[in-house]
A and B are shown apart, each in its own frame.
Chain A
Amino acid sequence: MSATLAAFRDRLAYQGVSLGIVALLATTALVVGNQMTREAIVQAEAADLANLLAQVLPDGTADNDLLTDIVKVGAGETAVTVHRARKAGVPTAAVFRMAERGYAADIVVLMGVAADGRLLGVRIVKHAETPGLGDKIEIAKAKWVLDFDGKSLGEPPAEKWAVKKDGGVFDQFAGATITPRAVVKAVKRGLEFFSAHREEILS
């Protein structure tokens, strides 16, 4: 380090200006980074969503673009965005999210419901449950969510829409009851939401 630089570094103006330059460079880097990645991130997230939507709908349920065929049901913050699957223009199924408080935070469930009210598939989109216990709701870790396939509001009857511990038909996990209970509740609420707004969704 040269002596002149050392003398400069102790000046107040140098410190202020150098801090400013670093902040400016950092901001520039962030702006450039954001610009360069924005497009790719939007694409990756759209691909993710399309991938998820495809998971809760069996092959051949839809021939339209679910990402654009959406309807908002309800008003304000509780509005639910429903993706509609159509085949030759006729609505065949609806896909939407439901959230329910789990053990740690809200569990967000994505569910596909056929026009007749039958469940086509359920996936967990977001959760913060205990790793190794509550996270068995993820399809990557256990097959538990597949239990919902084919169920509807009448099958099993309403009082059986619960985990086995509460007298229902769905398994709970050893050491974790709150998590599956929340998922079952969310799916049941989703089905009720679907039957209440069926006309609006499938119009």
Chain B
Amino acid sequence: MNARGIVRDGLWDNNVVFAQMLALCPAMAVTTSGTNGLGMGLATTAVLLVSNILVALIRDFVSPQVRIPVFVVLIATLVTLVDLVLNAWLHDLYKVLGLFIALIVVNCAILGRAEAFASKSPVLGAALDGIAMGLGFTFALTVIGLIRELLGSGTLFAQASLLLGPQFAFLETTVIPNYGGVLMMVLPPGGFLVLGVLLAGKRVLDARVAARKSRLAKTDFSTETA
């Protein structure tokens, strides 16, 4: 697959959440705000990138029969090392991301990409796929988080400066001041509602695009034959 296709696949056509519907457990658990979604997405992207590269490097030496345990051990080791390193040397960041990092271990999307893509691709393609899939995941989580945050507590990117540093404080906006909040949107059912609506929206959009494409194709065809 070419680079363009890989990127398009990761961000939209084969998006982890919106198309593959993988990793819904972390997606529902942390998307109570845009900031949390962004943090989880970025942490996952980093792990996905490294795990894809490692899997692509060793793919020739791993026999197909034992590939799953090998990948599982690899990913678990990687996440644990990231957890230790962040805790030791980037302790402030760890206090913000600590919760997400433990959740990455159970993110089936990482094993999914190792199995479906990285184990069959050269290193560069696998790295690109890791970044594209990770950014697609980040995009999905941030969008779900922002919608839930807006409906649930009337803010956008609250506490972004805790995650990204004080220079990003400008992202924090209160859209609806003195908003009572809709509790359900912050709780897990709200996550499923938002995801459902977004999935339906993506379907409609994709169907429209496909319809327009086929219409255009038909016109092209008729002009050619005429």
Seen from chain A, the residues whose Cβ lies within 8 Å of a Cβ on chain B are 1, 5, 9-10, 14-15, 18-19, 22-23, 26, 29-30, 33-34, 36-37, 40-41, 44, 47-48, 130-133, 140-141, 174-175
Contact = CB atoms under 8 A, between A and B. Distances in A.
A132 B74 contact: no
Contacts of A18: 61-63, 66, 70
14 contacts: A14-B63, A15-B66, A19-B70, A23-B73, A26-B73, A30-B80, A37-B85, A37-B89, A40-B89, A48-B91, A48-B95, A130-B183, A131-B33, A175-B183
A133 B183 CA distance: 8
Interface residues of B, number: 36
Contact of A140 (B64, B70, B159, B186): B159
Contacts of A22: 70, 73-74
A29 B81 contact: yes
B129 interface: no
A116 B169 CA distance: 41
Contacts of A174: 180-181
Contacts of B64: 9
B177 interface: no
Interface string B200-222: 00000000000000000000000
Contacts of B158: 132
Interface of B: 32-33, 36, 60-66, 69-70, 73-74, 76-77, 80-81, 84-85, 87-89, 91, 95, 149, 152-153, 158-159, 162, 180-181, 183, 186-187
Given A9-B63, A175-B183, A132 B87 contact: no
Contacts, number: 83
A40 B88 contact: yes
Nearest to B179: A174
Nearest to A11: B63
Nearest to B95: A48
Task: Identify whether the interface residues of B are mostly helix, strand, loop, or mixed.
Answer: helix
Contacts of A29: 77, 81
Contacts of B89: 37, 40
Nearest to B152: A132
B84 A37 contact: yes
A37 B162 CA distance: 24
B188 to A, nearest CB: 10
Given A41-B84, A130-B183, A133-B183, 12 more contacts: A18-B61, A18-B62, A18-B63, A19-B69, A22-B70, A29-B77, A33-B80, A33-B85, A34-B84, A130-B186, A132-B153, A140-B159
B153 to A, nearest CB: 4
Contacts of A9: 61-64
Q: Which 5 A-B pairs have the closest CB atoms?
A: A40-B88, A37-B88, A9-B63, A44-B91, A26-B77
A41 B81 contact: no
B26 to A, nearest CB: 14
B90 to A, nearest CB: 9
Nearest to A128: B99
B177 to A, nearest CB: 14
Contacts of A33: 80-81, 84-85
Given A26-B73, A140-B162, A130 B187 contact: yes
Nearest to B90: A44
Given A10-B63, A37-B88, A132 B81 contact: no
Contacts of B74: 22, 26
B91 A175 contact: no
A133 B152 CA distance: 9
Contacts of B159: 140-141
Contact of B81 (A1, A5, A30, A40): A30
